Amino acid sequence: MSVTLLLGSASTSRAAILTRAGIPFTQLAADIDEAALVTDVPEPRVQAQALATAKAHAVSNMLLRDTLPDGPTYIIAADSVFEFEGHAYGKPQHPDVAIERWRAQRGKAGILHSGHTIIAVLGGRKQRIVQETVSATVAFANVSDSVIDDYVATGEPLFVAGGFTLEGHGATMIAGVDGDPNAVLGLSLRAVREMLDRLGVALTPLWTATE
């Protein structure tokens, strides 16, 4: 029986990570109130995992409500929270917020936490749930105010955790990464493979499914 991997996210970055790895998947975005969910969760690492788990449940609930899966389906969800000087930072969303954050973090380092949750939908219901949070330290270049202003003006950092990315323009402002770079991009492939292993699903046979 074929296995379906469903990415529970609208993120183009996470989709691109799976695509580059030759992993076949479908995609369905989660709709959750992120701000309300983390109100009572101060720890950045715990926030990231809570958001990933909420997304996975939201997507699996939509799937079971609207379309009964034909076979085993595994919902993969992830979310990231940036920790800087002990505080949690999500997406800046506004240019002035992004500028303020970048001026504070330039020349320093923070920790990007990416929570991962996989829910196995078997026999028309949720059967098993596995979770893992992957963290990596990101060091930032000591860039000038004008570089920060120009970067924020591109709009790239507004809707990513911590206001930065390893892709695009943001790559020019990262001094180094200690940890899984894919986790910083939003989805640790190592974690996904090991989590699927725990659910009895081997990832490598799926590589040939797209050939």
Q: Are 56 and 117 in contact (CB under 8 A)?
A: yes
Q: What are phi and psi of 84, to 5 degrees?
A: -135, 120
33, 40, 79, 96: the catalytic one is 79
Type of residue at 109: A
> Which residues lie below 8 Å from residue 176, measured CB to CB, with a gap of 6+?
138, 139
Annotated catalytic residue 178: no
The radius of gyration of the chain from alpha carbons, rounded to an integer in Å, stands at 18
Active site residues: 79
